[in-house]
Amino acid sequence: MTIDTPIGKDAGVIAHLFIVSRREPQLFDYLAREFASEDDVQVILDRRIGERRKTGGTYPNERRRADRRTLAHVPRQVGTLGYAFVRVDG
């Protein structure tokens, strides 16, 4: 199984996602084995290194009205628990 490729017969349907810290390779291996037969579950390694924007200010050409990330709890959970579990709706 590759990290970036959805698993299952219908590769477009992922209902649950485990995001595992890169510092937890044994947990990643365990979860990947446990859920290998589940078509609607994907286990991936967290690829994020850190915040790309270092300041919280606005930028002159900023077009976005708000932060697009609605899963703000994920980095905190990955950092403290070693993983985050996300339910993907539609």
Classified as helix, coil or strand, 18 is strand
- DSSP state, 42? E
| pLDDT tens column, 7-66 | 444 555 679 999 999 999 999 999 999 999 999 999 999 987 765 555 555 656 666 555
pLDDT at 49: 74
Higher-pLDDT residue of 2, 52: 52
Confidence of residue 3 (pLDDT cuts 50, 70, 90): very low
The pLDDT, as a whole number, for residue 2 is 38
Note the pLDDT of residue 9. Answer: 47
φ and ψ of 6, to 5 deg: -60, 145
Helix (H) or strand (E) holding 84: strand 83-87
- C-beta separation of 57 from 22 below 8 A: no
